[in-house]
Structure 1
């Protein structure tokens, strides 16, 4: 369990998870975070470790993360920092 302070003004919350599956080994998951983590079944999985380039692909494959591009006048999200975080966790 991880608890973090609420940050205001972010474009989107993103769930980045890691699991050691008994059958396939280490797996990285990227999905929408916050309340959308419970409402959406959309997620992207990769065997770990993933490179920053693979993490960028994961972000691109998750349609709801298009909000990171500055959807409807909202500020752009830092895709590169997210990709680096995904790769680091993996």
Structure 2
């Protein structure tokens, strides 16, 4: 079953979980992200870990590196769009 977790990062604290779900809810989360030009990253292992967090909860320090790499990649893509 498809799962999705949305994160918010405002550069003042660790990223927080803003939405999560599976099945139809996961599809809706991904559709909203696409509609708003938000990067979608597929990592089943990371989604499994993030989906254990509560809405509004900051990601744990053990996931900082994995999430930081995704954020850096998203910035790289955004900077190279014409």
TM-score class, shorter: under 0.3
Larger Rg: 1
Normalised TM-score (structure 1): 0.27
TM-score by length of 2: 0.28
| Larger strand percent | 1
